[in-house]
Amino acid sequence: MAKYGFDLHIHSCLSPCAENSSLPADMAGMFALSGYKIAALTDHNSCGNCRPFLKACDHYSMLGIPGMELNTAEEVHVICLFKTIEDAERFSDYVYSTLPPVKNRKDLFGDQLYADELGNITGEEEKLLINASSIGIYQVKELAEQYQGLAYPAHIDRSSNSLLSNLGLWDPAMGFELAELSYSCPEDLLKKRKDLKGLKAIRATDAHRFGQIPSAPGQFMELESLDIPSVFEWLRTYAPSI
């Protein structure tokens, strides 16, 4: 068994709110430089930059996981992780079809850039990716599983786009096996809530730019082998409780 530093919520220049300099390959490189061994790219409603991210992770001897930060119909952000790039991209195509036909206003939201593993900009996404999909929160777990994915709500302690702020409480019927917390969430804030008792939770950087990447990993997972099925098993079974 070995311990691996991880972060499973990272954005690239495809997210309008991220810097244009947050190229997927460079985000991978910067996390590797800080000592991370497992990293997931989770742009808003798209896996469109996951391919170059995974190639860069390989290059830096880090396990890369293709993912997405899905925005549900209730505007709750949910992290969806996948075992293969093919599954992720199929899921991404489906999510894209559920987004309203609203164009991105670059002057208001920022650019949505596709890039390759060498850092070349290869295209631009015209549809506004931070919009809400028509996928309801109660559908997400099962939908992700249809693509061999694992889904759990992002930054539940935040005051916007979070499960607790938008829906009020953790309903086990949603089926989520764990939750993500911000690093800024105080240890005891959620301990008082009955609805979260015993809930498994991990923290995430939600890094949109280099400056938000910590100098060292804040959490680790212990695995027999460094692969995505083992990461999923750890998250479902061994992640710490709130």
Is 96 a binding residue for other proteins by CB under 8 A? The answer is no
Is 130 a binding residue for other proteins by CB under 8 A? The answer is yes
CB 176 within 8 A of CB 5: no
Q: Which of 208, 182, 212 is nearest to 12 (CA)?
A: 208
Is 100 a binding residue for other proteins by CB under 8 A? The answer is yes
Query: Which is nearer to other proteins, 100 or 229 (by Cβ)?
Result: 100
The least CB distance from residue 106 to other proteins, in Å, is 11
Sole window of 39-47, 51-59, 102-110, 182-190 interacting with other proteins (rule: CB under 8 A): 102-110
Q: Which of 2, 86, 105, 197 binds other proteins (CB under 8 A)?
A: 105
Measured distance CA(161)–CA(147) in Å, rounded: 24
Is 75 a binding residue for other proteins by CB under 8 A? The answer is yes
Measured distance CA(12)–CA(173) in Å, rounded: 32
Q: Which of 2, 102, 118, 169 binds other proteins (CB under 8 A)?
A: 102
Q: Both ends of the chain: CA-CA distance in Å?
A: 24
Structure tokens at 242: 């709130």
Structure tokens at 217: 């990993």
Q: Which of 63, 6, 12, 70 is nearest to 41 (CA)?
A: 12
Query: Which is nearer to other proteins, 122 or 134 (by Cβ)?
Result: 134
Query: Which is nearer to other proteins, 75 or 111 (by Cβ)?
Result: 75
Under the rule (CB under 8 A), what is the footprint of other proteins? 74-75, 100, 102, 105, 108-109, 130-132, 160
